[in-house]
Amino acid sequence: GAGGVMAGLITYPNDTVRRMLQLQGSRGTDTSYTGYFDCVVKVYQKHGIGRFYHGVGINIIRMAPNTAVQFGSYELLKRLSEKYM
């Protein structure tokens, strides 16, 4: 739960920049970037810090149960493997 949500909040801006770099030059985009930091600077100058977190809410709603299931499965499999080894 909470650990996954925090990880999502911390890494989300990086995913936003990655997506923007992947989509540059595609239909409907007119901005081009020379690299990662060029993208960060241009986006920050044009849109501010909020643009890096655009859409983070739905991502957290998706991540919270996903992380809980992942950690729960890990603990279950860990106990089962200890039992049979």
Q: For each of the chain's 85 residues, which pLDDT tens digit applies?
A: 677 778 888 999 999 999 999 999 888 778 889 999 999 999 999 999 999 999 998 888 888 788 888 889 999 999 989 888 7
Rounded Cα gap, residues 47 and 37, in angstroms: 15
In this predicted structure, what is the pLDDT of residue 61? Answer: 84
21 contacts 39 by C-beta, under 8 angstroms: yes
Residue 20 has a pLDDT of: 93
pLDDT of residue 36: 96
The pLDDT, as a whole number, for residue 18 is 96
Neighbours of 12 (CB within 10 A): 18
Task: State the pTM of this model.
Answer: 0.70
Strand (E) or helix (H) holding 77: helix 56-84
Mapped onto helix, strand or coil, the DSSP state of residue 54 is: coil
Name the residue with tokens 């859409």: 55
